[in-house]
Structures are given as structure tokens and as C-alpha cells.
């Protein structure tokens, strides 16, 4: 129970903050010279950064960046990836062969490297971050969806649907996608974690959001230059980032256990 509710709570809390950040009375870019590099205290929240901007406010606005990118990238790549994977596996033949080759090529790039190169060439900006990370992430969903469809497409109800002449798009939407959604959801929750790290990583390298906009990654980057005098600048966004990523991974773990159990009982009843 604890392993489910605590991470879920952490994620929901940050998601709420991310959603409300644009309307909350925050001043993430207000420069307050007397407070430069001042550490946090009970009265002053989490302290101030190298330009005298409040770290707490920037942290909340950073959550907005983080969740916005994560949501956009995961939905984009989930939709594109599972659509392509499903079509490939369902159609078979040369369409599937081309898809498998393309997936193989994309998987030949280690992790975030391609995203770094793409974001670097396209230039900084939140849209480019979303594009770069989506180009990298769709492959995982496509591969998973393809494998899932291959394993269920010979089931009786699908054959029955084909036999009575239901058009393929409808079969895919009504009879295939619901069956393969569970593993895709689990994948998406791990995907959230890696996109959050990915966005922060790009921003850390200076390839993410443009200053003065706040991202947890760019806050860490700014903070590393003042670590000896103002460690709070690095510690605060790092802890927030770790908390969110850890919660997303934990939630993914729980979802996987939970959905696996269900899958097993489905398999046992023929």
C-alpha cells in the first residue's frame, strides 16, 4: 500500500503544482540583488540564486516545464509508436519488415545521445526538446506494441471479427488496442521517468528551455558554478527531480506487478 500511495501522492502533488504554476502568484524571474546566493531559511523559503531569484518559485515553475515536456513527449511517442507497431504487426509483409528495420536502426543509438545531437542542431527551445525526445522515445512503444499485437492477433475473437468483415481500422481500435494497452501503460510510466531525466539533461547541457525560463536541469547547471557558496541552488532542484523520477519508477514497478498478476489469471482461463 505504502509503495503505491506515496509515489502516487508525490507525482499528483507535483503534477498539480505544474498545472497551477502559471496562475500562482510566483515571481520566478524577479531579480532581488540584496538576496543574491542567500541560503534558505524558515522565512525565505529555499533561498535565492545567483541573480537573487527565489529558488522555491523557480522550482515550481520548473515542475511546469518538466511535466509539460514529459506529458507531451510520452503522449506523442505513445500514440505514434503504438500506432506504427500495431499497423506493422497487423499488416505483416513488407510493411512489417520495413518497420522492424527502422526500429533496429533507432535502437542502435544509445539512450539520449540522438536527442542531444538533434536538440543541439535544432537549437534550444521547449518545442525542440519535445521533438528531439519524441524522435528517440517512439521506438520503445512501437516495438512493444508490435510484439503484443503479434501475440494476440491470432486469437479467436479477432479471427471472428475478420471473418464477419469488420474493416481493419475498426478491428485494431475496438478489438486489438484494448488488449495490448496494459503493457503500454506500464511502459509509459517508466517512459515518464526517462523523459523527465531527458529534459533535465538537455537543459543541463544548455540545450533545453531558454533563459530566463526555469527548468530543474538548467537550475542544476546554474547552481554548479556556485556550489561552494550556495549549495542550495543545486540541492533543491536535484532533490525534486530525484523524488519525481523515483516515484515514477516505483509506480511503474507497482503497475507492472499489478498488471502482470492480471495477465497471468487471463492466461490461465482459456
Partner 1 sequence: MFIRFLISRVLTALAVVFGVVCLVFFLLHLVPGDPVEVMLGESARPADRAALQQALGLDLPLHVQFGHYLANLSQFDLGTSFYSKRPIRDLLLERLPATVELGMAALLVALLLAIPLGILAAVKKETAWDIGATGVALFGVSIPNFWMGPMLILVGALWLGWFPVSGREGIASLVLPALTLGTALAAILSRMIRSALLEVLNEDFMRTARGKGLAERTVILRHGLRNALLPVITLVGLQLGALLSGAVITETVFSWPGIGSLVVEAIHRRDYPVVQATVLCISVSYVALNVLTDLAYARIDPRVRLGSRP
Binding mask 112-141 for partner 1 (x = CB under 8 A): xxx-xxx-xxxx-----------x------
For partner 1, the binding residues in 225-264 under the rule CB under 8 A are 227-228, 231, 234-235, 238, 241-242, 245-246, 249-250, 253
Tell me how many residues contact partner 1 (CB under 8 A): 46
Which of 192, 207, 245 has the alpha carbon at shortest distance from 115?
207
How many angstroms separate the CA atoms of 234 and 225, rounded? Answer: 9
How many angstroms separate the CA atoms of 166 and 170, rounded? Answer: 7
Residue among 175 and 201 whose Cβ is closer to partner 1: 201
Residue indicated by cell numbers 515518464: 192
Phi and psi dihedrals of 46, rounded to 5? -95, 10
How many angstroms separate the CA atoms of 237 and 44, rounded? Answer: 16
Does 150 participate in binding partner 1 (rule CB under 8 A)?
no
Residue among 176 and 203 whose Cβ is closer to partner 1: 203
For partner 1, the binding residues in 32-71 under the rule CB under 8 A are none
Residue among 176 and 199 whose Cβ is closer to partner 1: 199
- Asked whether 228 and 39 are in contact (CB, 8 A), the reply is no
Element (H, E) at 151: helix 126-152
Q: For residue 140, count CB atoms less than 10 angstroms from its CB and return exposed for 0-12, middle for 13-18, buried for 19 or more.
A: buried
Does 161 participate in binding partner 1 (rule CB under 8 A)?
no
Q: Give the shortest CB-166-to-partner 1 separation in angstroms.
A: 32
Residue indicated by cell numbers 503484443: 148
Element (H, E) at 23: none
Does 205 participate in binding partner 1 (rule CB under 8 A)?
yes
Note the residues at the interface with partner 1 (CB under 8 A): 101-102, 104-106, 108-114, 116-118, 120-123, 135, 193, 197, 200-201, 204-207, 217, 220-221, 223-224, 227-228, 231, 234-235, 238, 241-242, 245-246, 249-250, 253
Amino acid at each position: 500500500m505504502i509503495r503505491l500511495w506515496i509515489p502516487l501522492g508525490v507525482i499528483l502533488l507535483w503534477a498539480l503544482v505544474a498545472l497551477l504554476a502559471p496562475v500562482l502568484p510566483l515571481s520566478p524571474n524577479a531579480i532581488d540583488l540584496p538576496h543574491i546566493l542567500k541560503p534558505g531559511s524558515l522565512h525565505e523559503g529555499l533561498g535565492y540564486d545567483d541573480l537573487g531569484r527565489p529558488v522555491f518559485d523557480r522550482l515550481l515553475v520548473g515542475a511546469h516545464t518538466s511535466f509539460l515536456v514529459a506529458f507531451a513527449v510520452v503522449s506523442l511517442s505513445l500514440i505514434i509508436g503504438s500506432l506504427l507497431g500495431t499497423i506493422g504487426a497487423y499488416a505483416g509483409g513488407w510493411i512489417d519488415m520495413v518497420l522492424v528495420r527502422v526500429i533496429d536502426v533507432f535502437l542502435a543509438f544509445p539512450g539520449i545521445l540522438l536527442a542531444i545531437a538533434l536538440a543541439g542542431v535544432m537549437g534550444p527551445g521547449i518545442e525542440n526538446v519535445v521533438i528531439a525526445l519524441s524522435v528517440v522515445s517512439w521506438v520503445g512503444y512501437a516495438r512493444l506494441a508490435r510484439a503484443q499485437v503479434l501475440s494476440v492477433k491470432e486469437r479467436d475473437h479477432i479471427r471472428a471479427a475478420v471473418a464477419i468483415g469488420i474493416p481493419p481500422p475498426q478491428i485494431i481500435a475496438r478489438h486489438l488496442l484494448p488488449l495490448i494497452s496494459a503493457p503500454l501503460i506500464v511502459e509509459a510510466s517508466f517512459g515518464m521517468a526517462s523523459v523527465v531525466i531527458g529534459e533535465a539533461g538537455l537543459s543541463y547541457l544548455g540545450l533545453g528551455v531558454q533563459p530566463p525560463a526555469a527548468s530543474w536541469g538548467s537550475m542544476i547547471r546554474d547552481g554548479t558554478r556556485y556550489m561552494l557558496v550556495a549549495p542550495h541552488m543545486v540541492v533543491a532542484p536535484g532533490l525534486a527531480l530525484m523524488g519525481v523520477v523515483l516515484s515514477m519508477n516505483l509506480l511503474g514497478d507497482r503497475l507492472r506487478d499489478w498488471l502482470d498478476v492480471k495477465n497471468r489469471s487471463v492466461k490461465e482461463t482459456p
